[in-house]
Amino acid sequence: MVFSSLAFLFIFLPVTLAAYHLVPTRYRNVVLLVSSLVFYAWGGPRYLPLLAGEALVSWALALLIQTARTEREKSLLLALECVVLLGLLAFFKYTGFILANVQALTGGEGDVFSPVLPIGISFYTFQLISYVADVRRGTVAAQPRYWKLLLYCSCFHQCIAGPIVRYETVANEIDHRSATANDVYLGVRRFCCGLAKKAVLANSCANVADALIPVGALGPQSVSGYWLGMVFYTLQIYLDFSAYSDMAIGLGRMVGFHYLENFDHPYQAHSVQDFWRRWHISLSSFFRDYVYIPLGGSRCSTPAYVRNMAVVWLLTGLWHGASWNYVLWGAYYLAFLLFEKFVVRGRMPRVLGHPFTLLVVMVGWVLFRFENFGELGQVLAGMVGIGAKGLTSLSVRTTLLQNAYLLVLSIVACTGLGTWLHRTIGMKARSNEAIFTAYSIGEMVLPAVLLLVSVVALAGASYNPFIYFQF
C-alpha cells in the first residue's frame, strides 16, 4: 500500500483516523501501532518479524546501555547493535551485489542468490541505530516499553520511505501529544499538497522522462532529447520524494507528531554543499552526526578530512542502492565537494553558483538513474553530442510543446514561490476584509480541490510507487 493509492486514501486512512480520534487517549498509541503493523504487512507480511525483531534487539541493548557501569561496556553494546542491524541490512541489500561481482571476477556461471529487499529496511535500520547511539551518548533515555519503541520505528507515516525520524524528535510526543482541530487541518492540507505533487506533477514528469530516456530500453536520441529527459527526471525525483515527505509530515501532524522538514528547496542552492544541506536533510544529518563527526569531521588534518568525506560519500552511495552506479554517484559528489572546499573556497559568485550547482546536480541524476553502464555512458555522451541523433528532432520539440505547462508548473513547485505567496496573502488578509474572506475560502477549499484533482489523476493510473521505496 502506498499513500497515493485509492485504498489508502478512502479506506485505510479514514478508518485509522476515525479509530484514533474516537478511542480514549490512553488507547491511541495502540491504534496507531496496530494500523502501522497492518500497513507494513500489507506490502510484505513475511518481513514483519524482521522489523519487530530489530526493534526488540534495539530496545534490549538500549536498556543494557543505560544500566551499564563502564564506558567500555556501553561502547561494546552499541557496537553489537551496529553489527546486528547493519549485518541484516547488508545481507538483504548487498548479498546479490557482492555475489554477482565475485561471479564476474571468477568467471562463474548460474543464477546469483539475491534476497528480496524488505520494504523500508534502510530507513528503520538507521532510525533504530540512531536511537541506540543517542542512548549511548546520554541525549535520550531508553524507552522502557518495547511496544512503544516498535511504534516509533514502524509508524506508517515514515517507516517505508522516511524521513529518518530521530527518537529525540518524538520521544516526548509518543506519550504526551495532542492534535487540535488546527493541527488536523494543517496536516490534511500538507498531505493533500504532497499528494497533488506526487499524483499530478511527479507522475507526469516521470511519463515524459520515461518516454525520452527509458531505463532498460534506451534507444538513440537527439542531444535536446537527452537533456529534456533529464530535466524532467530532475523534476520528478524531487517532486516524488519531497511529496512523500510532505505526506508523512502531514499524517504525523494529524495525530500530534511534529516531524522535522526533510527538504528546503534544494534546487535553489548556490553550491553543491548548500544543495546537500537542503536535500534529504534527515539522511544528510544522520551521516553527519553518526559517521562524519565521530570520525573527526573537519577539525583534523587535510588527509583525515578527505578520508572522512570519502567514507561518508561511499556509504551515502551504497545506502541508495547495491549497484556500482550509486558508488560512482557518491564519488562524483565527493569530488565536487572537495573541489568547492579546496579550489573554489567560496569565491564563486552567486550568479554563477546557482547554474553551476544545477548542472552538477542534473548530471549527477544521470549517474543515479541508470544502473546499466552502457545506458549511462550513452546518455552522458549524448548530452554532449557524441553518438546523438542530431541536436533536436520533431518528436522532442512536440514533447516539449505538449508538456510546456507541466514543465513550468513543476519548476515553480520546486521553488519557494508558493510558500512565499501563501504567507504574503495571509499577512495582507489581516488588514483587508475582502482579502481575508477570499483567503479563508481558499484555505477551506484548497485541500478538497487538491484531493479531487489527485484522485482524478490516480483513477486512470497504473501502480505508481514512490522512487525511494526501492531504497
- The average confidence (pLDDT) of the chain is 92
Distance CA 334, CA 155 (A): 33
409 contacts: CB under 8 Å, gap ≥ 6: 201
Q: What pLDDT is attached to residue 274?
A: 96
Distance CA 48, CA 50 (A): 5
442 contacts: CB under 8 Å, gap ≥ 6: none
Only one residue has cell 548548500, namely 274
pLDDT > 80? residue 466:
no
Give catalytic residue positions: 320
Written as one letter, the residue type at 381 is A
pLDDT > 70? residue 471:
no
pLDDT over 90, % of the chain: 78
**3-state DSSP of 336-360:** HHHHHHHHHCCCCCHHHHHHHHHHH
DSSP H or E stretch at residue 458: helix 433-459
Q: What pLDDT is attached to residue 117?
A: 86
Q: What pLDDT is attached to residue 458?
A: 87
Q: What pLDDT is attached to residue 465?
A: 62
pLDDT category of residue 366 using cuts at 50, 70 and 90: very high
- The mean pLDDT of 58-65, rounded to a whole number, is 97
For residue 51, the SS3 value is: helix
Q: What pLDDT is attached to residue 462?
A: 60
410-457 pLDDT, tens digit per residue, is 999 999 998 899 889 989 888 888 888 988 898 899 999 999 999 998
Q: Of residues 40 and 471, which shows the higher confidence score?
A: 40
Q: What pLDDT is attached to residue 422?
A: 87
pLDDT > 60? residue 248:
yes
Q: What pLDDT is attached to residue 1?
A: 75
| Residue 8: closest CA among 468, 466, 413 | 466
Q: What pLDDT is attached to residue 463?
A: 54
- The mean pLDDT of 253-264, rounded to a whole number, is 94
Q: What pLDDT is attached to residue 470?
A: 57
| Residue 191: closest CA among 419, 450, 426 | 450
Half-sphere exposure of residue 328: CA atoms within 13 angstroms, side-chain side: 16
Please return the burial class of 303, using the count of CB atoms within 10 Å of its CB with bins 0-12, 13-18 and 19+: exposed
Q: What pLDDT is attached to residue 160?
A: 83
N-term to C-term CA, the chain? 16
DSSP H or E stretch at residue 29: helix 28-43
pLDDT category of residue 161 using cuts at 50, 70 and 90: confident
Distance CA 395, CA 393 (A): 5
pLDDT > 80? residue 304:
yes
Task: Look up residue 48 and give its three cell numbers.
Answer: 514483519
Q: What pLDDT is attached to residue 347?
A: 84
Instruction: Specify the DSSP class assigned to residue 199.
Output: I
- The mean pLDDT of 208-228, rounded to a whole number, is 94
pLDDT > 70? residue 93:
yes
Q: What pLDDT is attached to residue 243?
A: 94
pLDDT > 80? residue 123:
yes
Distance CA 413, CA 395 (A): 26
Distance CA 50, CA 91 (A): 12
pLDDT > 70? residue 467:
no
Q: Of residues 48 and 160, which shows the higher confidence score?
A: 48
- The mean pLDDT of 260-273, rounded to a whole number, is 95
Instruction: Specify the DSSP class assigned to residue 130.
Output: H
* Structural domain boundaries in the chain: 6-177, 183-271+348-459
Q: What pLDDT is attached to residue 429?
A: 87
Instruction: Specify the DSSP class assigned to residue 111.
Output: P
pLDDT > 80? residue 147:
yes
Least confident of 59-63, 204-208, 286-290, 298-302: 298-302
